[in-house]
Chain A
Amino acid sequence: MDHHSNGFPITQVFGFVLSLVLTFVALFVAIKTSLSFNVIIWTIGTLAVIQAGLQLFMFMHLRDGQDSKAQTINVIYGVFIAVLTVAGSIWVMSFGGM
């Protein structure tokens, strides 16, 4: 938990600065580089997943509390279904007509 004797929220500040850096790196890669479309999408997608993990662990404290294991399994299951839904939809709709 956030029990720091000096009262400085180091975890939150660190998470915020890191989020800003990741956001601007993604912006730079997408707008200012001339990499191929696929490389850009995989790079900024990876940056987004890292930043989402940052929010989950540093701000939402996913691993805290007595139910942390069940909470984590629940989120992993949600993400699994989400990836399956999005990737599956794109895949199945890529046949014919494009």
Chain B
Amino acid sequence: MSANVNAALPLEYQSEQSRMNIFGFWIFLGAEIILFATLFATYAVMSHRYAGGPTQHDLFEINGVMIETILLLTSSFTCGLAIYEMHRNQKKGLLTWMVITLLLGAGFVGMEVTEFVHYVHEGATMQTSAFLSGFFVLLGTHGLHVSVGIGWAIMIMIQIAKKGLTPITARKAFIIGLYWHFLDVVWIFIFTFVYLKGMVS
């Protein structure tokens, strides 16, 4: 670790560059909010256009959805614990909680892929109806974000394992943490306005 660490600031905020990187990432998340808003708007408008295909009631199963939700919610919690350990300067704690976070994230992606394959076997594909186009694009975009996040976090973890906890690796870990929590925020709205709304009779 570099000798000139300002103890009044957390590790990820040590340099002006890091401060700008983190602020820049918040700007990116602002753009992500709007990206997902357009997909939610599309889904909301199309959600009753079935074109003779299956409806939400035919497809959605609450048990699988709840498992996905709990997996992602817990991974957001363990990611918070990872950053908490980082602030206590515990490299091992940080890496351990990050591994758990990514396993939960991988479990989520696995569940979602299984769900999609199941739908396609029931004849519910992206081409079936406007409802399903909107559904697969919204959930697919979110699932893609989680998958990319897993790959990104693995690379950050390799850097931390090799270089240790420095102001630079801490900033990178903090930013992937922000990204991961954001994906859980998006999922809360998918859970509420796609699944729960679809299952209300």
Please report A residues at the B interface, Cβ cutoff 8 Å. 1-3, 7, 9, 12-13, 15-16, 19-20, 23, 26-27, 30-31, 37, 40-41, 44-45, 47-48, 51-52, 55-56, 58-60, 65-67, 70-71, 74-75, 77-79, 81-83, 85-86, 88-90, 93
* Contact B193–A45 (Cβ < 8 Å): yes
| Interface assignment of B38: CB less than 8 Å from any CB of chain A | yes
* Contact B37–A81 (Cβ < 8 Å): yes
* Contact B181–A60 (Cβ < 8 Å): yes
Give the shortest distance, in Å, between A23 (CB) and chain B (any CB).
Answer: 6
**Interface digits, B57-82 against A, CB 8 Å rule (1 contact, 0 not)?**
00000100010011001101101110
Known A-B contacts: A7-B88, A66-B13. Give 9 more (CB < 8 A).
Answer: A3-B87, A9-B84, A19-B73, A56-B181, A58-B80, A67-B19, A67-B26, A82-B37, A89-B45
Please report B residues at the A interface, Cβ cutoff 8 Å. 10, 13, 19, 22-23, 26-27, 29-31, 33-34, 36-38, 40-42, 44-45, 62, 66, 69-70, 73-74, 76-77, 79-81, 83-84, 87-88, 177-178, 181-182, 184-185, 188-189, 191-193, 196-197, 199-200
Kindly name the residue among B177, B184, B188 whose own CB sees the greatest number of chain A CB atoms within 10 A: B188
* Contact B87–A59 (Cβ < 8 Å): no
Closest 7 CB pairs between A and B?
Answer: A82-B37, A78-B30, A89-B41, A78-B33, A16-B77, A30-B196, A48-B192
Bound: A65/B184 CA distance, A: 22
Q: Which residue of B lies closest to A34 (CB)?
A: B201
* Contact B23–A30 (Cβ < 8 Å): no
* Contact B200–A85 (Cβ < 8 Å): no
* Contact A86–B200 (Cβ < 8 Å): no
Bound: A13/B191 CA distance, A: 22
* Contact B33–A44 (Cβ < 8 Å): no
* Contact B84–A27 (Cβ < 8 Å): no
Bound: A71/B81 CA distance, A: 22
Known contacts A30-B199, A55-B184: does B189 contact A74 (CB below 8 Å)?
no
Kindly name the residue among A27, A41, A70, A83 whose own CB sees the greatest number of chain B CB atoms within 10 A: A27
Bound: A11/B182 CA distance, A: 18
